Amino acid sequence: MPVHLVKSEPDAFSWDQQVANGIEPWTGVRNHQAAAFLKAMKKGDRAYFYHSNIGKEIVGIVEVVREAYPDPSDETGRWVCVDMKAIEPVKHPVTLAAIKAEPRLEGISLVRQSRLSVMPITPEHSAVILEMAKG
């Protein structure tokens, strides 16, 4: 099962809001590379929920409950979104600093392409992140 990472500025949409809302459309992606990754998501895939700008850490895990469909926030009709559902918070948030300091996570897209907001995570990297999240 593929694993992904999605970023949100908590000022705009936070993990707490995701939890409160349950299922929430993941809208606003306006980058072709990120959109391609969104389209590749399958129902049942998991994604790490990362807080950019404020916190700069992985705070929870979400699951794709609806695959790509037209983003209602996009007037042009060209961009897509998916629906995400909160699964669980991580016990210990995994900070960007900790990710950068972990040699086994070298080359992770989160660091290499800091502006990308949706990205795949390799199974190897995912295992390390899960381990770090357990504390």
Residues that bind DNA (CB under 7 A): 7, 9, 31-33, 52-53, 56, 96-97, 100, 110, 113-117
> Taking the CA of residue 96 as centre, how many other CA atoms within 13 Å lie in the half-sphere pointing to its CB?
14
Contact 71, 35 (CB under 8 A): no
Residue 13 CB, nearest distance to DNA (Å)? Answer: 11
Residue 7 CB, nearest distance to DNA (Å)? Answer: 5
Residue 52 CB, nearest distance to DNA (Å)? Answer: 4
Closer residue to DNA (CB): 117 or 126 = 117
Closer residue to DNA (CB): 56 or 66 = 56
Residue with token string 């660091």: 111
Compute CA distances 53 → 14, 23, 46, 104, whole Å: 12, 24, 22, 24
